[in-house]
Amino acid sequence: MGKIHEEFQAGSLIESGGLGKLSATPRRLYVLCDYRLDPVYSCVQGAHAVAQYLLDHAGKEVPTWKNEYLIFVRANVGYWFKKLKKEKRDFTSFFEPDLKMKLTAIALEDSGSLFKNLKLVKL
């Protein structure tokens, strides 16, 4: 194992001007992908949601998610959109222009307890 990998495993990787020190408790970015889409296509939609999430959160002085855990799950995104809005959660949605602005993916930070019953996207 290389030095950088060992430092990453130990949670002490520091990048100047970049991510900074990784948190002691890694944050999880959940990406909810529309379960009705083909798994590969749903992951593309999920990648758009992650990109939008990063743009939406770029102005924060201290980013909370630092490219640690990234978890793609299959979900009824319409249901989750309403539920997350009702709970006033901070999340980012992606609406696909090629599908007439249909909601296809959601990205948000969570401990995982909210999504424990959802299945991972499998290719």
Question: Which pairs from 3-12 meet CB under 8 Å and 24+ separation?
Answer: none
The answer to whether residue 39 sits within a structural domain is yes
Q: What is the rounded CA–CA span in Å between residue 108 and residue 26? A: 14
**Domain membership flag for residue 123:** no
Tokens standing for residue 61: 């002085």
CA dihedral 108→41→34→118, nearest 10 degrees, is -70
pLDDT score recorded for residue 60: 75
Is 77 part of a structural domain of the chain?
Answer: yes
| Cβ-based neighbour number of residue 2 at 10 Å | 7
| Lowest-pLDDT range of 10-19, 71-80, 98-107 | 10-19
* pLDDT tens-digit readout, 42-76: 999 999 999 999 999 887 766 678 888 999 999 99
Q: Give how far Cα 73 sits from Cα of 13, 31, 37, 92, Å.
A: 28, 6, 12, 15
- Is the residue at 30 inside a domain? yes
- Residue 7 within a domain: no
8 domain residue, yes or no: no
Is 14 part of a structural domain of the chain? no
For residue 72, give its domain range: 25-115
- Is 25 a residue whose pLDDT tops 80? no
Q: What is the pTM of this model?
A: 0.79
Kindly state the tokens that stand for 47: 């990648």
Q: How many domains does the chain have?
A: 1
